[in-house]
Structure 1
Amino acid sequence: MNIVIIADTHLPKKKKSLPFKLVKELEDADFIIHAGDWQTIDVYEELIHYAPTTGVYGNVDDNQIKEKFDLKSIVEIGSLRIGITHGHGRRKTTEKRSVELFEGDGVDIVIFGHSHIPVHKEYDGKIVFNPGSPTYKRRQPKYSFGKLELSEDGCFTLEHVFFDESESEASK
């Protein structure tokens, strides 16, 4: 199973469309996870054309997104329990807020966004993952999103896909 993980798309405010590098991955996706700051429901409407899509709302999302998604979600894919949140709030770091939100929920992976900083590490027996942003890298050297590949035997790989501006658009 091929799962694409994104966050902080901020469309159409930061970019007018999803970048080419991401679209190429979406074409092969079996499932899509969005960790908030979609900006508008149009992003969701575009993503569902590629694969079933779930996610959470972020701090800049409009009311249509907030009505469709929760602040926190847990999805089960194969043998994995995946916690999803945007991570915005007060006090502590985005990462700590996100991890604490799922304490006691028995998740294997915590996916969050908000900071636009790619993170992939183990913390307290869980994998903590922020895909970064495919459209608004802030001070990061590259744009990014995540890929989770899950095999039938329950093994999985989780990685970032990094790209620069030249890979954002299709060749003309």
Structure 2
Amino acid sequence: VLTPIAPQTPQIPTNRVQIDPEPLSWTIGAAISFANFDLPSLNNTGFSFQVDVLKHTDTLFSFGGALEYGQVDGNSYLSTLAKGQWTFREDKAFNIPVSVSLGPTFLFETNTEFGLTAKASAGFSYEIVKDLRFFYQAGIQARWMITKNDFTVSLEPMHIGFSYSF
């Protein structure tokens, strides 16, 4: 015996569909440091300006590069650094980033010198408005100028800047 099935009426949605926003995947930042102190003498040796481009991963780790221009004892230098950054708090207004950078350095004085720079820094960042952050970082930098066999370690106590995520 066949029994006819009544046609089903389609369901009418009663609430809006929530779509998760796409996660932020890139950050561009710029920072300036007005004081770099040689260790152990703590003599102020100059300033630096740095631009970062970082790619976010699914974890609290970001990686990318940095381009830094500065002056040391009156001589200009340019560094291109590979950079890794860890953030200990996810999607919070107040974050604590820790970063490590390594890369080649070119010192422009009477002769162009070539070297290697390594940095480790930590600090805090605060979200001013959506996707725009203010940050402060302090750290230690080691620079080995290979062509003139000169090794220096300096303290960077004041890296102040802004970053934008998109």
Same fold (TM over 0.5): no
> Shorter-chain TM-score: what band?
under 0.3
Bigger proportion of residues as strand: 2
Bigger Cα Rg:
2
Q: Which one has more relative contact order, counting CA pairs under 8 Å at least 6 apart?
A: 1
TM-score by length of 2: 0.27
Bigger proportion of residues as helix: 1
